[in-house]
Chain A
Amino acid sequence: MEYDLNINGEQRRVDVDGDTPLLWVIRDVLGMYGTKYGCGIAQCGACTVHIDGEAARSCQTLVESVGSSAIMTIEAIHTTTNGRKIQKAWQDLDVVQCGYCQSGQIMSAAALLSETPIPTDADIDNAMSGNICRCGTYVRIREAIRHAATLDGNAKQGG
């Protein structure tokens, strides 16, 4: 079955079963590997993308359910002001360790800032508790989100 996806501002046609999780379409069919597999049951958040600006777990989003919604992945998050702020804050505080969960963390954090420009600790806990980090970078994630909220979104992000 063919589906036309609106992903990172581009139209992409894919030919897969309708019940294929969006995660595997993004990774294996479209060849964008920044979005990660962690659990397959929406428990860990490694696969987080934005669908119409909201954080969504792509491992539990069937491709047939997406329709014409705008999908954004880690590869394009720097095109948003909040994405740039979060990436810059992550780099400023050296949040990452193994880095595997961080695409998902950044997508969740960017969605949080869009909703709540100056989040409280409770807002952070709430928005980020669906994203597991086994390296235990939570202390820095918390700090980085608070830091990101203070940044100028037009600042150039490294890389």
Chain B
Amino acid sequence: MYMKGTSSKSSPVDTRLSRRSFLFAGAAAGGGLLISINASMFRADRAAAADAQVTTFAPGAFIRIDKAGNVTAIIPQVEIGQGVYTSMPMLLAEELEVEPNQIRVEQAPPDDKLYANPKLGFQATGGSTSIAAFYEPFRHAGAVARTMLVAAAAETWGVDASGCRAENGTVIHDASSQRLTYGDLSAKAATLQMPDKVALKDPKDFKVIGRSLKRRDSVDKTTGRAQYSIDFMLPDLKVAVPQASPIIGGKLVGMDEKAALAVSGVRRVVRFDDTVAVIADHTGAARKGLAALNPQWEGGALTYSTANLVSDLDKAAAGEAVVATNEGDVKNAASVAATTLEARYESPLLAHGTMEPMVCSVRITADGCDVWVGTQVIARVQSAVAEATGLPVEKVRVHNFLMGGAFGRRLETDYAVQAAMIAKQVDFPVKVIWTREEDFQHDVFRPYYVDKLSAGLDENGMPTAFSHRVAGSSVMARWTPAWFVNGLDPDAVDGAAGPYKFDNPLIEYSRSEPPAGLTTGWWRGVGVTHNSFPVESFIDEMAVSTGKDPVEFRRVLLAQSPRAKAVLDLAAEKAGWGTPMPAGKGRGVSVIVLFGTHVAQVAEVSVDPQGDVRLERVICAVDCGLVVNPDGAKAQIEGGIIFGASAALYNAIEIESGRIVQTNFDTYRVMRIDEAPKIEVFFVESDQPPTGTGELGTAAIAAAIANAVFAATSKRLRRLPVGLDVTAK
């Protein structure tokens, strides 16, 4: 087990630091990061620690070094497959001068101050932020610790610190050939004052950052030993399988409790207004019990279907809108344009379909509440469960696990709150496991969007006016109301003008919410995943309307954006853009900027006579600044492309008479290995601070595919998924 290096029997990722070490870590609270640590408080804690004979050196919230020289990284971000348990220790290792694989990893406890994501302001793993946000703080933490260890050695030897150097967990004084390990020095280092300022390495001197490092969870994840929340067990734990109303907003009106309780192994039936759960000795019995229970539902949005959702969005798009950007005079520019273009695009509701469904275990005792869960928002889960149980926050202990996929779904706390409500009804620990059907029907869906775009082109075919009105529900208004100002959802319009600096742009947002019970939320690539499809498709429409090559057209538009132009050129070159394609095949391009990362993709598709589209090859060029773990970043991009291609080609959640139509992988078709394209990823060399890679593959692919289908068939796709539009005649 890699997590704490203790036993091969997996244990959950422990979010609890020892009380003592947490006092040290807690010294940085308030300021957030090491830089503002309160030295006097640090010494007081150190004295207390000395009393308890704890000699761990813990300069700040992210590092602990014990007497044996064990270095532990406290990771504020959670591991959802993106590799932060591998890449974030590399940042520490670089400045601390240890081998990254020698660093142990421990999940940080919930703490919105101490472990806030600097890019977001609270503790969360999302928005492709982990490396970008902690690139500086983690290197800084490593440098502070190294500086103090060197100072401790210099003091021990009575030499000047400038004559000492750190290497591989050891401080060396070359002149006297003396050396001491970090373990030897940890107790003394803990008595020293933290330096106010430390110098960070020049990127050209990096030895760890920029070199591919193997994932540290690879062995556990290939031997079945990795533990996810669904694998958590206690001797007296029972399993609950819940069902919430399959009708949006419906209520429970009947059930056969006797039949459920007659199933061998079933212990209890717990009911709420709109949810019921069967609790049993094992999942098989609980599932069988739920089938026997046969719950009946009434009320809710019985007359609501996808068509209502779309017509509401069209109404919103035709009505009032909030202006996000309005420069120049778009109306006048359009009126004097040589030609104008208009288009309406649609993007469907999407499910996350994480391989591990929503699962959460809860135990409530007189001593408080334990929550065993996989979440992207540990601190949010803590406060949401506190609210649901009426317990004070400090009585809620959240133990986080590796996650079987997240993709934004686990930024929600609904499943943890539900588990707490169920646990409140019983006097034993309960593991609440959603069925796949439950997971699809009660997902927090990516919003449905209707996009209306128009452009005015001059006599050379170049845009002189650009307007884009986005109609959709607002994720931010619900999830981070503070970011939803004056009716504008900044995420909904993120990337609404693509990476381009248009003359006379007008970007607007019209909000339209689905009925209560149908919730929309974050989905991999967020705003840009949606906007890149209409925008990059519409750019193609502009180009071909005057017979221009889509790459050449974009190169001109991106003349003032060197990083975007460079990735476009790189992708076009690697794809052999412009070389002939056989009949029935086509290439399409897209360019995006997502969380500061510049991306260009070229997709190659073939379309058979029946109209079935096959994605054959994807070339992706990326400028994400300095690449910390190149092979890990490449894996993220490969996987992101497949996740996005799956959605673009096949995925839509539909509603019929108040029910979600797609309830499992038989009806929500996801990409399989025989459909997966060849993928080639190229990074632009850069020493700029790193930006994210987790979502870009997903965000750029839909438009590239749609543009490739146009190249192959001259059919413009304005509605996703591709499969719907190509086959619908």
Q: Give A residues with C-beta under 8 Å from B.
A: 16-17, 19-21, 23-25, 27-29, 31-41, 43-44, 46, 73-75, 78, 87, 90-91, 94-103, 106, 124-126, 128-142, 158-159
Q: Is B674 an interface residue (CB 8 A)?
A: yes
Set of chain B residues within 8 Å of A101, measured between Cβ atoms: 355, 404
Known interface pairs A19-B288, A38-B355; A75-B435 also in contact (CB < 8 Å): no
Given A97-B83, A98-B402, A125-B673, verify A140-B638 contact (CB < 8 Å).
Answer: yes
CA distance A142 to B642 in the complex (A): 14
B215 CB within 8 Å of chain A: yes
A138 CA / B615 CA spacing, docked (Å): 14
Binary contact readout B282-296 vs A (1 if CB under 8 angstroms, 0 otherwise): 111101100000000
Q: Is the CB of A40 within 8 A of B635?
A: no
The answer to whether A39 and B664 have CB atoms under 8 Å apart is yes
Partner-A contacts on B (CB < 8 A): 80-83, 214-215, 217-228, 230-231, 233, 239, 263-265, 281-285, 287-288, 353-357, 402-407, 433, 435-436, 631-632, 635-636, 638-643, 646, 664-666, 670-674, 676, 678-679
Contacts of B665 in A (CB 8 A): 38-39, 41, 43-44, 132
Q: What are 13 sample pairs from A and B whose C-beta atoms fall under 8 A apart?
A: A17-B284, A17-B285, A20-B282, A24-B282, A34-B223, A38-B357, A73-B224, A87-B222, A94-B635, A102-B222, A134-B670, A139-B676, A142-B673
CA gap between A133 and B632 in the complex, in Å: 17
User: In the complex the two chains form, is B222's CB within 8 Å of A97's CB?
Assistant: no
A44-B355, A134-B355 as given contacts; A128 in contact with B405, CB under 8 Å: no
Pair A36/B404 contact, Cβ less than 8 Å: yes
**Closest residue on chain B to residue A29 by CB atoms:** B282
Bound-state CA distance A139–B603 (Å) is 16
Cβ-defined partner of A43 (8 Å) among B218, B435, B631, B664: B664
Which residues of chain A come closer than 8 Å to B225, judged between CB atoms? 34, 159
18 additional A-B pairs beyond A91-B214, A101-B404, beta carbons within 8 Å, are A20-B284, A25-B282, A29-B282, A33-B224, A33-B231, A34-B225, A90-B222, A96-B81, A97-B81, A97-B639, A126-B674, A128-B674, A131-B673, A134-B407, A135-B639, A139-B679, A140-B635, A141-B673
Top 8 closest A-B pairs, CB basis?
A: A34-B224, A136-B642, A100-B404, A98-B81, A99-B221, A24-B284, A159-B219, A28-B282
Chain B neighbourhood of A129, CB < 8 A: 672-674
A106 near B664 with CB under 8 A, answer no
Query: In the complex, what residues of A have CB within 8 A of residue B676's CB?
Result: 136, 138-139, 142
Complex: how many Å from CA A140 to CA B670?
18
Residues of A within 8 A of B407 (CB): 134
How distant is A59 from chain B, measured CB to nearest CB, in Å? 10
Q: Are B643 and A46 in contact (CB under 8 A)?
A: no
Cα-based distance from A16 to B287 in the complex (angstroms): 13
B355 touches A133 (CB 8 A): yes
Measured in the bound complex, the distance between the Cα atoms of B439 and A43 in whole Å is 15
Looking across the interface, which residue of chain A has its beta carbon closest to that of B640? A136
Query: Which A residue's beta carbon lies closest to that of B679?
Result: A139
Give the complex CA separation of A152 and B20 in angstroms: 49
| Bound-state Cα–Cα, A87 to B225, Å | 13
Pick from A16, A37, A75, A139: contact of B433, CB under 8 Å: A37
Q: Is the CB of B404 within 8 A of A98?
A: yes
Q: A35-B224, A97-B635, A132-B665 are in contact. Are A25 and B284 (CB under 8 A)?
A: yes
- Is B283 in contact with A136, judged by CB distance below 8 angstroms? no
CB atoms of B678 and A136 under 8 A apart:
no
Residue among A95, A99, A103, A125 with the most chain B CB within 10 A?
A99
With A27-B283, A74-B224 as contacts: A91 and B218 at CB distance below 8 Å: yes
Set A17, A31, A44, A99: member contacting B264, Cβ < 8 A: A17
Known: A38-B355, A99-B402, A159-B219. A138 touches B284 (CB 8 A): no
> What is the bound-complex CA distance between A66 and B102, given in angstroms?
45
What chain B residues lie within 8 Å of A94 (beta carbons)? 214-215, 218, 631-632, 635
Shortest A100–chain B CB gap in Å is 3
How far in angstroms is the closest Cβ of chain B from A28? 3
- Given the interface contacts A97-B639, A98-B403, does A135 sit within 8 Å of B436 by beta carbon? no
User: A125 CB to closest chain B CB, in angstroms?
Assistant: 4
What residues of B have a CB within 8 angstroms of the CB of A36 in the complex?
Answer: 228, 230, 355-356, 404
